[in-house]
Structure 1
Amino acid sequence: MQLLNPITAVSLAGLAPHQPGTGEPICERVDPTTLFVDHEYQRTIGEKGRRQIRQIIENFCWTKFKPPICAYAEHEGRTILKVLDGQHTAIAAASNPHISLIPVMIVDAPDTQSQAAAFVGQNTQRLGVTPLQIHQAAVLAQEENALDVQNVCNRAGVRVLHCLPGSGRYKPGDTIAIAAIRGLVSRRTSMGARVILGVLAKAHLAPITALHIKAADYLMSDKDLSLKFDPEDLTKAIGDLYLTAEDEARVQAKTMRIPEWRALAMIWFRKTKKKRQVMRLVA
């Protein structure tokens, strides 16, 4: 016997249901070649994405089809539909000669900020969308936490990339470690995080990694170690050891059975010029 469960409401105890601030979505059938993608907050299609599109084309089936989420927007004096979520599906449909129209769901998001916010909402709990893309969209959506993180990075001289560099080459100050930076800002406040990231940026690391951030955070936040050096001297030590410190830390971490970031911090600390200790004479 087939077991079916009806959709029933859950208990609202302790919840404060939110009343939607926009109209409900509408569904339309459109020509997929008339849709647009805004790369201010959406990634461009790479080789992995192209493979995914080819797979969708070769296995296209309406039972597996998820309508793209779109929003009306103004572009060069005319009204268009932007794809907020589902660009791979839309491209696959546009490429398939057997498909002329597809259903799309159109939400009420008239400007880039609200469209970016919709993108964040659609993808925050979905696999396949990177933290970098979520961060960029959240910045465009003017989300407070994302703006704080971005401002900290800007003032520290750290450039958060939107995606991995196509050439694989990073420039000094580049980073993709957005999760580590968010954690740093949360732990050390915006001002503290800016100082720590500034030390790393001035060392011309390319890129600044989560490993670097944890090691610098440890040294500059420890109440004893942080008193023994000036930040600019730590920057110099990091820069001087740039080509060797991480390999040495990897070996040392395995030998001493400690986290790699702690081993890296110890290596940096040993190289850093220490402040002169003023001895008190007791009469």
Structure 2
Amino acid sequence: MQDNIRQISPISIAGLDVGVPPTGMPIFELVYPTDLFVDPAYQRSIGEKGLTQIRRIVERFDWAKYKPPICAYSSVEGQTVLKVLDGQHTAIAAASNPNVSQIPVMIVEAEDTISQAQAFIGQNTDRLNVTTLQLHQAALSAANEDAQTLELVCKRAGVKVMRSPNSYSTTNGVVGARETIAVKSIEHLIGRRGTKLSRQILEVLANAERGPLTAPQIKAVEVLMTDSQYTDVITPEDLTSAIVDLLFTAEDEAKIFAATHKVPFWKALAITWFRKCKKRRQMPARVA
């Protein structure tokens, strides 16, 4: 036997809480790819990037490189169908290739949308090609409490979480007003500040209606509303007014300030807004 190959062997599981599979072992079946379905509740739609990937799979289709789509039986309007939980690009490529008739798929137990969305998350959590937005939408479909809390905080702040980066709407000539894709930043904000303060922070930006809420903007408002050297001299309403007055020039000024003073962009943006903001009392002797 060659010296450079290794046989699979178990590792030590001492001290581990060994998991017991909650569902039965998957089964494999040959199916026609056109008999498969996709649930938009947790699956992304196919964009141009996805179409490029599908075309590449069609051109280079090779069974040696094939990864079976993961599917689950589901009842839709009284009809039993197979939904693709992971691998819709592969399935579409197979359906598009005239040299491929049937494909093997792995079928797991996940009868309802919640369990299917949970399976999708489990399949994609550690994959770089699945975005935070897609995982968030899947978590919502899976009735994940953290995802539901995030949506509720945003809704109460008058902010809409978009399903994809390029789906901003235009209102009164402003693109992305009261909209955001900064899911991870909001998630971390809620973890640090709780739901009430997070909602108030998002409201400051939402009420300015200046465009999509970005991660640096959220971080900048957070520091202005939580650091005593700022909160003692400004109000959320005055901060919103300052953001409206400066519009997009604030970010240009912040970029210059960040480069000159070697500070993070979000901090430079906070300082830029603070300087414009109306002060309610005498400022501290020194503001960092």
Structure 1 and Structure 2 fold alike (TM over 0.5)? yes
CA–CA distance in structure 2, aligned partners of residues 255 and 198 of structure 1: 30
Matched letter for residue 249 of structure 2: T
Match of 1:253 among 258, 270, 274: 258
Residue 82 (structure 1) shift: 0.7
Tell me the alpha carbon deviations over residues 14-65 of structure 1, each in whole angstroms, 9 at most, x when there is no partner: 3212222222211111000011111122111111111111110111000000
Match of 1:183 among 148, 167, 188: 188
Residue 76 (structure 1) shift: 2.6
Partner of 1:231: 236
Partner of 1:50: 51
CA–CA distance in structure 1, aligned partners of residues 187 and 166 of structure 2: 21
Matched letter for residue 80 of structure 1: V
Instruction: Check the 8 A contact 2:162/2:168 in 1, yes or no.
Output: no
Aligned pairs for 1:211-222 within 5 A? 211-222=216-227
Tell me the alpha carbon deviations over residues 220-249 of structure 1, each in whole angstroms, 9 at most, x when there is no partner: 110221111111111111122122111111
Aligned pairs for 1:1-283 within 5 A? 1-166=2-167, 170-276=175-281
> What stretches of structure 1 move > 3 A for 4+ residues in a row?
166-170
Matched letter for residue 191 of structure 1: K
Matched letter for residue 90 of structure 1: A
CA–CA distance in structure 2, aligned partners of residues 152 and 15 of structure 1: 37
- In angstroms, what is the RMSD of aligned CA positions? 1.5
CA–CA distance in structure 1, aligned partners of residues 218 and 3 of structure 2: 54
Residue 3 (structure 1) shift: 2.4
Matched letter for residue 124 of structure 1: T
- The answer for unaligned runs of 5 or more in structure 2 is 283-288
Residue 153 (structure 1) shift: 1.2
Partner of 1:280: none
CA–CA distance in structure 2, aligned partners of residues 19 and 158 of structure 1: 41
Identity of aligned residues (%): 55
In structure 2, relative to structure 1, the CA distance for the partners of 1:122 and 1:208 (3 Å cut) is: same
Secondary structure (helix, strand or coil) at the match of 2:267 reads helix
- Stretch moving more, 147-156 or 131-140: 147-156
Tell me the alpha carbon deviations over residues 92-117 of structure 1, each in whole angstroms, 9 at most, x when there is no partner: 00001111100001111111111111
CA–CA distance in structure 1, aligned partners of residues 60 and 207 of structure 2: 50
CA–CA distance in structure 2, aligned partners of residues 20 and 205 of structure 1: 49
In structure 2, relative to structure 1, the CA distance for the partners of 1:154 and 1:168 (3 Å cut) is: closer
- Stretch moving more, 175-184 or 161-170: 161-170
- The answer for unaligned runs of 5 or more in structure 1 is 278-283
Residue 168 (structure 1) shift: 8.4
Task: Give aligned pairs, total.
Answer: 277
Residue 134 (structure 1) shift: 0.5
Secondary structure (helix, strand or coil) at the match of 1:27 reads strand
Residue 89 (structure 1) shift: 0.2
- Stretch moving more, 61-70 or 265-274: 265-274
Matched letter for residue 274 of structure 1: K
The alignment's TM-score, normalised by the length of structure 2, stands at: 0.92
Instruction: Check the 8 A contact 2:133/2:164 in 1, yes or no.
Output: yes
Matched letter for residue 114 of structure 2: Q
Residue 144 (structure 1) shift: 2.0
CA–CA distance in structure 1, aligned partners of residues 168 and 140 of structure 2: 25
Residue 6 (structure 1) shift: 2.1
CA–CA distance in structure 2, aligned partners of residues 59 and 196 of structure 1: 49
